[in-house]
Structure 1
């Protein structure tokens, strides 16, 4: 099968997904209005109205009260505010609470702030193990929690892993932490729009969400945080957003974020089923295209097991970077993992934590599907993979000899 040099087959939606038309329309319309939502004149009040209507919509779609939605710049800031803000608040109330329990496979937007807190703030970071499918080991987590719950400041457990797509047992984590009055944060950036996410029902104290993963613009997101939870802000200034996030609000981006969320959540059931079918087409095709390939993560579908749009694959004997660039040369775009750590030639911490050997971890790719993905995109990938894999393995063999 051959393909004309035409459109790009974009299979990296977990890194960012193209904006949906409704979000673009909302953003354009709001940008033409102007006005600072903190100003008291007519334009300011109109901008404030747009922000508050977006807040109400986001809250309703995520199962939260509007007052629990704090707008900020995206998932990374939301994770930092949750982890640092909750830690500082809890430690101030009780200096003995210096331990933070989190999974070893968290996004770097959680792990790196914790590393900083350990280095500069005296925090003790307790990493909870995962199994070979990337799911949190609840027995190990429970033992860590029960060891000395009085010194735990907070727990952070992602809703779904950004690299292999495994859904984490957030409900069980919340239930166990609640027994000791310990707040729980979850990075739900990859879950929203693909899984049923209800903040109130989850029992979480804080939850991170990002706009550009669901068809909205980059540079905007939200930390959903219960009103009863106290957190120390990272930024100080005008006191916007409950004093948790000072700074002039990006009205147009917030409007577009809300519009994208409405579209994505509204079509979630049908779209998740469509993407699961496309993913299965990809996985089934791999058996013929590259029989050596190994699909990682939970093999089962469904909101308790795995994201419907992510296929993480190991190609034995090849380097992921070589595979990526060879596919890119043919107009097929994917990822070796999280785009936030792209360009760093090292094995994924997620795959290593799953028990994968480093050579295998370095020879893995993430294919993530989205609202622009078609059967033709999947077929194009499957047609290209045999030749690409052969060339990448040959390059790896040369590298070993030299």
Structure 2
């Protein structure tokens, strides 16, 4: 099997940072259990403490607010399922554009799930949210509100300040999926309104298999996995010190690595190139994070385009990577009102710390080849 030479799918998973690899290997050489009181255990505990401080620094959190989990999905489930139980929520509010980790966790609570629509630009309909909260005040209901900060498919940045202002001062619980925002936007968790946030390691150059739930002190009681008291009793199971060390090292290195790449400029270069070769290309979403574009050229299905690009050594996606490798209609684009025949042409290109202008130019050349073949077939059919 030939491995793709150019990786343009950072929103799915970012390549391993050298600093994370070094920390991972160093921690693998250490023997013991972080909960043991002898020297070997204390050495591993020090690894965890260092990494916790590094993750907290990037998240704008206090180190005690970081709870390590096996993934962001686990963190999300702990926040929603555990939070709904602990805080006695009557229903869960999510948006129509949430990642499956959020929507499935909401369903798993067994509570009513109320869905807020997306506007055509991809942002959450805050008027609908305000109406739901006002109705809850009248009826004495309590909600757990669970929204994403940055959409994983379109890169649309949600109006987090307005969401905080609506939900933060209320009795409702606010959880934010900050997976795509972590490291790219200032989370400032400690000073922010959300009760909990989820973040992921492999989105910033750590290995897969490690995430974290950020919790305010009153949410320390939110549990999902009981056990031997690890993570101050908030998540049972012996901590994977090597993965946590890599997560910490990635957190310490990511900002400078990512900042050294003009991802917004590269995305601008890519979109300008697309428009030059296909003036009917549609870019989805407004107020987007600068590292991603989700676009469609009418008539070129994403399955066909991805196959051609993959054969050319270019890895892109059609949206979320968490669908067992299946390519299906995007619920995010559907919620934005995009017609199905256009949505099935949508491709996502996402850049990160290792991206270059050469990567973008190679993508444009690869897509131009696909577009040329498409136009040739159209000409023959005419």
Tell me which interval the TM-score lies in, with the shorter structure as reference length.
over 0.9
Give the 3 Å change call, closer, same or farther, for CA 203–254 of structure 1 in structure 2: same
Deviations 1:318-363 (A, max 9, x none): 2211111110000011001010025334211000000011111111
1:181 alignment counterpart: 171
Judge which range, 286-295 or 205-214, deviates more. 286-295
2:78 alignment counterpart: 81
Please state if 1:56 is matched with 2:60. no
Counterparts of 1:182 and 1:43, CA distance in 2:
44
Deviations 1:88-128 (A, max 9, x none): 1122xxxxx321111110111101111222xxxx4011111
Counterparts of 2:42 and 2:310, CA distance in 1:
47
Please state if 1:236 is matched with 2:232. no
Give the 3 Å change call, closer, same or farther, for CA 104–393 of structure 1 in structure 2: farther
Q: 2:150 aligns with which of 160, 180, 195?
A: 160
Counterparts of 1:123 and 1:393, CA distance in 2:
50
Please state if 1:199 is matched with 2:189. yes
Equivalence map 1:97-112=2 (5 Å): 97-112=89-104
Q: 2:107 aligns with which of 115, 133, 144?
A: 115
1:302 alignment counterpart: none
Counterparts of 2:81 and 2:224, CA distance in 1:
8
Judge which range, 321-330 or 52-61, deviates more. 52-61
Offset of 1:386 from its aligned partner? 2.4
Deviations 1:15-51 (A, max 9, x none): 0011111110111111111221011221111101110
- Structure 2, unaligned runs of 5 or more: none
1:133 alignment counterpart: 121
Q: 1:324 aligns with which of 302, 306, 317?
A: 306
Please state if 1:146 is matched with 2:143. no
- Structure 1, unaligned runs of 5 or more: 92-96, 299-304
Give the 3 Å change call, closer, same or farther, for CA 396–213 of structure 1 in structure 2: farther
Equivalence map 1:356-371=2 (5 Å): 356-371=338-353
When the two chains are superposed, the root-mean-square deviation of aligned CA atoms in Å is 2.2
Offset of 1:394 from its aligned partner? 8.2
Offset of 1:65 from its aligned partner? 1.2
Asked whether the equivalents of residues 319 and 348 of structure 2 are also in contact (C-alpha less than 8 Å), the reply is yes
TM-score relative to the length of structure 1: 0.89
Asked whether the equivalents of residues 60 and 186 of structure 2 are also in contact (C-alpha less than 8 Å), the reply is no
- Aligned partner of residue 186 in structure 1, secondary structure: strand
TM-score relative to the length of structure 2: 0.94
Asked whether the equivalents of residues 28 and 242 of structure 2 are also in contact (C-alpha less than 8 Å), the reply is yes
1:339 alignment counterpart: 321
- Aligned partner of residue 317 in structure 2, secondary structure: coil
Counterparts of 1:289 and 1:168, CA distance in 2:
31
Offset of 1:227 from its aligned partner? 1.2
Asked whether the equivalents of residues 104 and 129 of structure 1 are also in contact (C-alpha less than 8 Å), the reply is yes
- Aligned partner of residue 77 in structure 1, secondary structure: helix
Counterparts of 2:378 and 2:73, CA distance in 1:
35
1:17 alignment counterpart: 14
Asked whether the equivalents of residues 4 and 315 of structure 2 are also in contact (C-alpha less than 8 Å), the reply is no
Counterparts of 2:184 and 2:156, CA distance in 1:
12
Offset of 1:196 from its aligned partner? 1.8
Give the 3 Å change call, closer, same or farther, for CA 281–21 of structure 1 in structure 2: same
Counterparts of 1:230 and 1:390, CA distance in 2:
57
Counterparts of 2:317 and 2:49, CA distance in 1:
36
Give the 3 Å change call, closer, same or farther, for CA 394–101 of structure 1 in structure 2: farther
Q: 2:270 aligns with which of 272, 275, 282?
A: 282
Counterparts of 1:321 and 1:73, CA distance in 2:
32
- Aligned partner of residue 312 in structure 1, secondary structure: strand
Counterparts of 2:227 and 2:240, CA distance in 1:
16
Deviations 1:187-222 (A, max 9, x none): 111111221221123221101110000011110010
2:162 alignment counterpart: 172
- Aligned partner of residue 157 in structure 1, secondary structure: strand
Offset of 1:178 from its aligned partner? 2.5
Counterparts of 2:167 and 2:246, CA distance in 1:
35
